[in-house]
Amino acid sequence: MRNLVAITGLGAISPVGLDVPSVAASLREARSGIRAIRTAPLEREFAAGAIDASFEDAFTKLELPFLDRCQQMAVLAARQAAADAGFDSFEAFGQRAGVYYGNVNGGVSNAQAWYSQMLLEGKQAARPFAAMAIMGNAGAAHVALRQKVLGPVVSNATACGSSGVAIGDAARAIADGYLDVAIAGGAEAPLVASLMGVFQGTRAMSPPDPDDVARSCKPFAEDRTGLVLGEGAAFLVLEPAERAWARGARCHAYLTGYGLSNDAHHIGMPATEGQVRALQAALADARLEPAQVGYVNAHATATEGGDVIEAAAIRQVFGSGPGDAAVSSTKSVHGHLLGATSALELLLTVVAMEQSLLPASAHLERPDPRCALNHVGPAPRAGHSISHALSFSCGFGGTNVALVVSRDPSQRD
């Protein structure tokens, strides 16, 4: 028998809130965290899910040289999740505790600073601790250091599915009895010129909406204009449900299904067939029929082709009628957090379940007919009890990850 996996801790640093209660309030109001930013030396203005806060005061002067903004947010979100689950430290678990982390770009602001120093100032060596601030696994390492995690500390970099794969793999380790607790999630801080310019080069970025920059990201909409990048971190604490019940922990939800697939189609263009395989695998793992899923948090980045391809996959599995799973994309208010986006969207899905709320696809006044689904629409819908929900992410390279969460896992089969 596999262990049932409980979610006992949530933590978030995001464009729509710096903790879970503020994130929940934003979700209820479809409040946007997207605003205009500039990233020198690029001359254009960007729409971005930007966090208007500095986190340096949370760390000592001795700590800061090792920490990019990305890792600062990872540490703080993981700390929230651990505290929510009732843990000060995981040291007592020995090697039965783990950290599973998703990230794509590492400490990109520190990398950019070094390139500038080398190319413009002629410096021949980086500052002593730049390597530790830049490396992609630094977020996981800093979480483990501070939370005293002595077991596996694993970083995943499968593009936009990174933190979803991290969470799914952590859940499997607990379900199969290898771990007693895990902190799983991701972080990303891509709002610097070197990375914004890279994505601008893909020709998939939305320009700032001329009337209201907060409306720049419009997934599934007929008038969508492209993706909007965001920054932030989100973490969940996972543990066997029986252990959580025994210690009297609050269980926000249960992670009951994990599906993972690759398109094997194109490095940058998704494929409906591969996405369908991931969705079906998650349902099979959760022992659910499509009709039992009440809500799908879609990947939907508001790109021209991506939304159409994903809508076809969701439609093939869940249907598109009024009685089928309700669908929305919360990227409309927080943007695309790249490696951290799966973790944040799963966290939002859990919060929505707890609030009996269907989150909005903000600004979806005119859905693209090619994206026909049972859309929640531009305003959240309160008073909708959700027994099972699915969060879906897809990424460059073809990786698709689907995670199923349940309020009452006994309501299966």
Residues marked active site are found at 160, 299, 336
Pairwise CA distance, residues 33 & 187, whole Å: 17
Q: In the β-sheet with 97-102, what is the strand arrangement from edge to edge? A: 153-156, 97-102, 181-188, 232-240, 5-13, 253-262, 399-406, 388-394, 295-297, 326-328
Number of other CB atoms surrounding residue 151 within 10 Å: 20
Q: Which residue has the tokens 């971005």?
A: 48
End-to-end Cα spacing for the chain: 16
**3 state SS of 29:** helix
Pairwise CA distance, residues 365 & 221, whole Å: 7
Q: Distances from the Cα of 88 to the Cαs of 78, 79, 233, 273, in angstroms?
A: 11, 9, 19, 44
138 CB contacts (<8 Å, ≥6 apart)? 66, 67, 68, 70, 71, 106, 107, 132
Structure tokens at 384: 């909708």
- Pairing, β 253-262 against β 399-406: antiparallel
Are the C-beta atoms of 75 and 143 separated by less than 8 Å?
yes
**Nearest residue to 250 (alpha-carbon basis) of 229, 269, 236, 266:** 236
**Nearest residue to 173 (alpha-carbon basis) of 156, 187, 152:** 152
Output the CA angle 394-192-299, nearest 5 degrees. Answer: 15
